[in-house]
Amino acid sequence: MKFTKNSDKEKIIIVVSLCAILTGSVTTTTAYGLSSRDGYNIDSLYSREDNIIPNHSPTILEREGNDISNYKNIISSNTYPTEGEKQTQNTIISNANGNNSKEFTMIAEDATMEISPGERVEVWTFNGTVPGPTLRFTEGDNVTIHFINKGSAAHTLHLHGTHDSENDGAFPLILPNQTYNYNFIAEPAGSMLYHCHAPPTSLHIKMGMYGSLIIDSKDSEILKPAREYAVVLSEFDPEDQDSFIPKYYPVNGYANQYMENNSLVARQNELVRFYVSNLGTTIPFPFHLHSTIFKVYPSGLISNEPIDVQTISLSPGDAIIVEAIWKYPGTYFVHSHGIQEERGNMGEIDIIPESGNSVSYMTAGTTNSSYLEPVTNKSVSMIDWQYQMQKKLQKPLISKSGIEEAEHGASAEEEAEAEALRQQSLSAIDTSKGISIVPESGNPGNDAFYEPSPAKVAVGSTVTWTNDDALPHTVTSGNPEKGSDGIFDSGIVNADKSFSHTFDKAGVLDYYCAIHPWMTGRIIVQ
Ligand SMILES: [Cu+2]
């Protein structure tokens, strides 16, 4: 069973829960186009997990439970963004005393957005869009990023470039409602990228958690003034995010974003610079410009000598700086050379005659006249213009947390279905022996995740979950679609560790793993 369209979500969750009750095990749960039983390539996911966890320092993995207080960067948990923090979203604040301190707020949020005209999909975002905002610093800046996880799953912020382990964004995992401060000195100069590194990382990337990271050189003479664009290439399949050839290869999160009325623009003989990054997870993007040979800084680093190319192969996880000049006015394709070009990775650039008037070409998505200026002795950044257009096309809607939705109350129909579930759950297995987080739960193809589930227990009982798997998991009340409801939350439970909770009230409680959101369970307190 798969579902992706938001409108179908509620119904299907109920059907899935009902199946779980009737069969005594959870068959499949996914809001991300991952099918846990039919057609899911178990081996590929499993090896992916293997690759992520054991290669890291065991001293980090062995940190106990949810105690991340030994990381100096953790500032709080159960924190929601303050008004001040919201204001720093998308705004880089330069410190008034001129010491190059920069602060930025990044909020992990579940959302829906259009990826193509009329196709609305569920995504995981940084600041509500895919890609998230372009982060731009100058080499040597002392950068602090306030990261707030308001999403339903564990997330992190991992930036490419140089920094220490506490600020690498692989560990710790930041659970829903937790906040973390990443701090680093921006280096090296070049075009890089950022993404979430919570496991399975390629799923978090495919779900939309990435963006462009630009670090300008301290030496402003190295790159000449140019018209500048940021281009993030990625993959998305609304039906099956594990598809090797997905339905879409979006450009800045939207299929064929820069075609026709939304085309990129530059002047004849003007230097145009693209900061291009590949946030796909499978094949390279062969980046290609029509009607010009262009310069590329390999791997996006200004320390590399640029080379002349007709097409450049850009690997997943890599970035480039492209510099191009068009000799002849006209409209030209900017695209990936290959199967991506029929699947959303096609764009256009309008080259205006040197003597021509740009106004009619450059008004898409903006009325800000600064975008219309010719490049003379300083660069003209089109990146904000791109971000405004991206938001206009994607029409993103942030998903509310479970707590906020509960306040709206349930309809009579939902109440009746819930009551039917309660009745059917009377046959649930008693949990006097505790609940196992079963081996290989990190694999969505596993037969069961929490066992027994559904389980039942008397009011006043203490239930202990033991992690019999090799990977860390959580036992978090709520569900992966709406997030934690705050009733109980184990934090991270490492292998062989356990978590106990005493149930004071009767009720049917669903829970899930915030690291592996396909893992769901139910406990009935009577
Ligand atoms: Cu994530």
DSSP states along 21-64: HHHSS-----SSS--SSTT--HHHHHHHHHHHSTTS-HHHHTS-
Shared-domain flag, residues 465 and 355: no
Q: How far is the CA of 151 from the centre of ligand 1 (A)?
A: 9
Domains identified in the chain, total number: 2
Shared-domain flag, residues 331 and 460: no
DSSP 290-323: TT--EEEEGGGBTTSPPEEESEEEE-TT-EEEEE
Would you say residue 159 lies in a domain?
A: yes
More confident: 21 or 254: 254
Q: 457 pLDDT band (50/70/90 cuts)?
A: confident
pLDDT, one tens digit per residue, over 74-89 is 444 434 445 455 444 4
What residues pair up with 290 in beta bridges, in sequence order?
none
Q: How far is the CA of 10 from the centre of ligand 1 (A)?
A: 23
- 289, pLDDT greater than 60: yes
* Domain end point (choices 398, 430, 464): 398
pLDDT, one tens digit per residue, over 358-411 is 555 554 444 455 677 789 899 999 999 999 999 999 999 998 654 344 334 455
Q: How far is the CA of 196 from the centre of ligand 1 (A)?
A: 5
pLDDT at 181: 95
CA gap 72, 69 in Å, rounded: 7
CA gap 454, 428 in Å, rounded: 5
Evaluate whether 111 touches 398 at the Cβ level (below 8 Å).
Answer: yes
Q: How far is the CA of 126 from the centre of ligand 1 (A)?
A: 9
Q: How far is the CA of 384 from the centre of ligand 1 (A)?
A: 24
Q: Is the pTM of this model over 0.75?
A: no
CA gap 144, 32 in Å, rounded: 31
CA gap 235, 215 in Å, rounded: 25
Which of 167-171, 198-202, 362-366 shows the lowest mean pLDDT across its residues? Answer: 362-366
Q: 225 pLDDT band (50/70/90 cuts)?
A: very high
Would you say residue 68 lies in a domain?
A: no
- 454, pLDDT greater than 90: no
Burial 317-352 (b: 16+ CB within 10 A, else e): ebbbbbbbbbeebeebbbbbbbebbebbbbbbbbbb
Q: What is the DSSP letter of 340?
A: G
Evaluate whether 165 touches 60 at the Cβ level (below 8 Å).
Answer: yes
Would you say residue 23 lies in a domain?
A: yes
Cα atoms found within 13 Å of the Cα of residue 146, Cβ hemisphere only: 23
pLDDT at 84: 53
Shared-domain flag, residues 123 and 177: yes
pLDDT at 352: 86
Would you say residue 295 lies in a domain?
A: yes
Which of 10-24, 167-181, 262-276, 345-359 shows the lowest mean pLDDT across its residues? Answer: 10-24
CA dihedral 421, 422, 426, 431 (to 10 degrees): 100
- 48, pLDDT greater than 50: no
Q: How far is the CA of 324 from the centre of ligand 1 (A)?
A: 34
Shared-domain flag, residues 50 and 93: no
Evaluate whether 321 touches 312 at the Cβ level (below 8 Å).
Answer: no
- 123, pLDDT greater than 80: yes
Q: What is the largest CA-CA distance in the chain?
A: 82
Q: How far is the CA of 204 from the centre of ligand 1 (A)?
A: 4
Strand duo 190-195 + 158-159: pairing: antiparallel
Q: How far is the CA of 502 from the centre of ligand 1 (A)?
A: 30
Q: How far is the CA of 109 from the centre of ligand 1 (A)?
A: 10
Mean pLDDT of 217-227: 94
Shared-domain flag, residues 368 and 428: no
Q: How far is the CA of 364 from the centre of ligand 1 (A)?
A: 32
Would you say residue 63 lies in a domain?
A: no
Q: How far is the CA of 110 from the centre of ligand 1 (A)?
A: 10
Residue with tokens 């009340």: 477
Shared-domain flag, residues 303 and 410: no
Shared-domain flag, residues 98 and 18: no
The CA radius of gyration of the chain, in Å to the nearest whole number, is: 24
Q: What is the DSSP letter of 83?
A: H
Q: How far is the CA of 348 from the centre of ligand 1 (A)?
A: 31
Q: How far is the CA of 153 from the centre of ligand 1 (A)?
A: 7
pLDDT at 435: 93
CA gap 15, 407 in Å, rounded: 23
Would you say residue 67 lies in a domain?
A: no
Q: How far is the CA of 141 from the centre of ligand 1 (A)?
A: 26
> Which ranges in 124-214 belong to alpha helices (H)?
201-206
| DSSP three-state, residue 405 | helix
Q: 260 pLDDT band (50/70/90 cuts)?
A: confident
Q: How far is the CA of 480 from the centre of ligand 1 (A)?
A: 13
Shared-domain flag, residues 388 and 420: no
Q: 481 pLDDT band (50/70/90 cuts)?
A: confident
Residue with tokens 């959302």: 111
Q: How far is the CA of 463 from the centre of ligand 1 (A)?
A: 29
Q: Which domain holds residue 219?
A: 74-398
Q: How far is the CA of 198 from the centre of ligand 1 (A)?
A: 5
Chain mean pLDDT for the chain: 79
Shared-domain flag, residues 390 and 404: no
Beta strands in 305-458 (DSSP E): 307-309, 311-314, 319-324, 330-336, 346-352, 380-381, 397-398, 429-430, 435-437, 450-451, 455-457
Q: How far is the CA of 513 from the centre of ligand 1 (A)?
A: 13
Q: How far is the CA of 425 from the centre of ligand 1 (A)?
A: 33
For the beta carbon of residue 117, count every other beta carbon within 10 angstroms: 9
**Which of 492, 444, 452 is closest to 471 using CA atoms?**
492
| DSSP three-state, residue 324 | strand
Q: How far is the CA of 431 from the centre of ligand 1 (A)?
A: 32
More confident: 80 or 210: 210
Which of 68-72, 132-136, 343-347, 367-371 shows the lowest mean pLDDT across its residues? Answer: 68-72
Mean pLDDT of 260-288: 94
Shared-domain flag, residues 113 and 35: no
Shared-domain flag, residues 200 and 344: yes
Q: For the chain, what's the residue count?
A: 526
pLDDT at 321: 98
Verify cis geometry, omega within 30 degrees of 0, for the bond prior to 188.
yes
Q: How far is the CA of 188 from the centre of ligand 1 (A)?
A: 25
pLDDT at 99: 58
- 126, pLDDT greater than 90: yes
CA gap 368, 107 in Å, rounded: 27
Q: How far is the CA of 156 from the centre of ligand 1 (A)?
A: 6
Shared-domain flag, residues 310 and 169: yes
CA gap 484, 151 in Å, rounded: 9
**Which of 304, 140, 322 is closest to 217 using CA atoms?**
140
- 29, pLDDT greater than 90: no
Would you say residue 187 lies in a domain?
A: yes
Please report, as a single letter, which amino acid is at residue 299: S
- 150, pLDDT greater than 70: yes
Which of 58-72, 333-347, 367-381 shows the lowest mean pLDDT across its residues? Answer: 58-72
The burial of 284, by beta-carbon neighbours within 10 Å (0-12 exposed, 13-18 middle, 19 or more buried), is given as middle
CA gap 344, 73 in Å, rounded: 39
pLDDT at 428: 67
CA dihedral 435, 440, 446, 449 (to 10 degrees): 20
Please report, as a single letter, which amino acid is at residue 112: T
Q: And the tokens for 288? A: 């290609």
**Which of 209, 161, 164 is closest to 183 using CA atoms?**
164
Evaluate whether 241 touches 34 at the Cβ level (below 8 Å).
Answer: yes
Q: How far is the CA of 214 from the centre of ligand 1 (A)?
A: 21
CA gap 340, 234 in Å, rounded: 10
Would you say residue 297 lies in a domain?
A: yes
Q: How far is the CA of 114 from the centre of ligand 1 (A)?
A: 20
- 332, pLDDT greater than 90: yes
* Domain end point (choices 369, 398, 427): 398
* Domain end point (choices 344, 370, 398): 398
Please report, as a single letter, which amino acid is at residue 478: G
Residue with tokens 């919201």: 86
What CATH number did the domain enclosing 232 receive? 2.60.40.420
Verify cis geometry, omega within 30 degrees of 0, for the bond prior to 200.
yes
- Count of H-run helices and E-run strands, the chain: 8, 32
CA gap 243, 483 in Å, rounded: 26
Q: And the tokens for 45? A: 């996911």
Q: How far is the CA of 482 from the centre of ligand 1 (A)?
A: 15
Which of 19-33, 91-105, 123-137, 165-179 shows the lowest mean pLDDT across its residues? Answer: 19-33
Q: How far is the CA of 39 from the centre of ligand 1 (A)?
A: 23
Residue with tokens 């979006």: 250
Give CA separation, 36 vs 17, 21, 238, 443, 523, in Å. Answer: 15, 18, 15, 8, 22
